[in-house]
Amino acid sequence: MATVLSVSGSPSVTSRTTGLLRHLDAQLIAQGHEVIPLDVRTLPAEPLLKADMRHPSIVTATALFARADGVVIGTPVYKAAYSGLLKSLLDLLPQYALSGKAVLPLATGGTTAHVLAIDYALRPVLASMGAAHIAPGWFTLDRDITLGEGGRVTIAPGSAEALERVTDQFSAALRGHPTLAAAVV
């Protein structure tokens, strides 16, 4: 199956966004995909802020994007946009780092007022980076994600069902079945 890079743009150690991504990662692994998690917050701040594209951690992150068949991008929404931490990484990647890849954008936030952040803030950047297929993204309210003991993540039933549908659609796109991917919506 496909290799998927699962990128969390959350700066928080106890992040609902990251929890949501790890939940989705488990679904993708169950479907036979290899998943590589990348938490941008674990990259050193200095090379991100100084745009040091030759720093080993940035070179490694860039190589992960190049290796992946598909990329899941998860971000909390701040000020109606994706996180600055995620932007710092995306700005350092080659212009067409997503060329030929299926991409699934996900966002989390405290209010439905931010639901369009995926389509108006994140999707244009992903498209400009050459993504072959951008799956319909999914926004999940913070209150629908519970982080439990030992990293256990619980997603509220309605959100879990919707997330499963977009995950299946993304997985179908990874397998090269765009018609099936479109039918899953």
Query: How confident is residue 142, by pLDDT bands cut at 50, 70 and 90?
Result: very high
Q: Which CATH class is domain 3-183?
A: alpha beta
Q: Of 106, 93, 99, 143, give the one whose Cα is nearest residue 28.
A: 106
| Global pTM exceeds 0.85 | yes
The pLDDT of residue 177 is: 56
The pLDDT of residue 176 is: 85
Q: Report the alpha-carbon distance of residue 94 to residue 91 in Å, rounded.
A: 8
Averaged over 135-157, what is the pLDDT? 92
pLDDT digits (tens, 9 = 90+) for 165-184: 999 999 999 988 554 344 44
Q: Of 128, 44, 121, give the one whose Cα is nearest residue 93.
A: 128
Question: Are residues 75 and 17 in contact, defined by beta-carbon separation less than 8 angstroms?
Answer: yes
Strand partners, 73: 7, 105
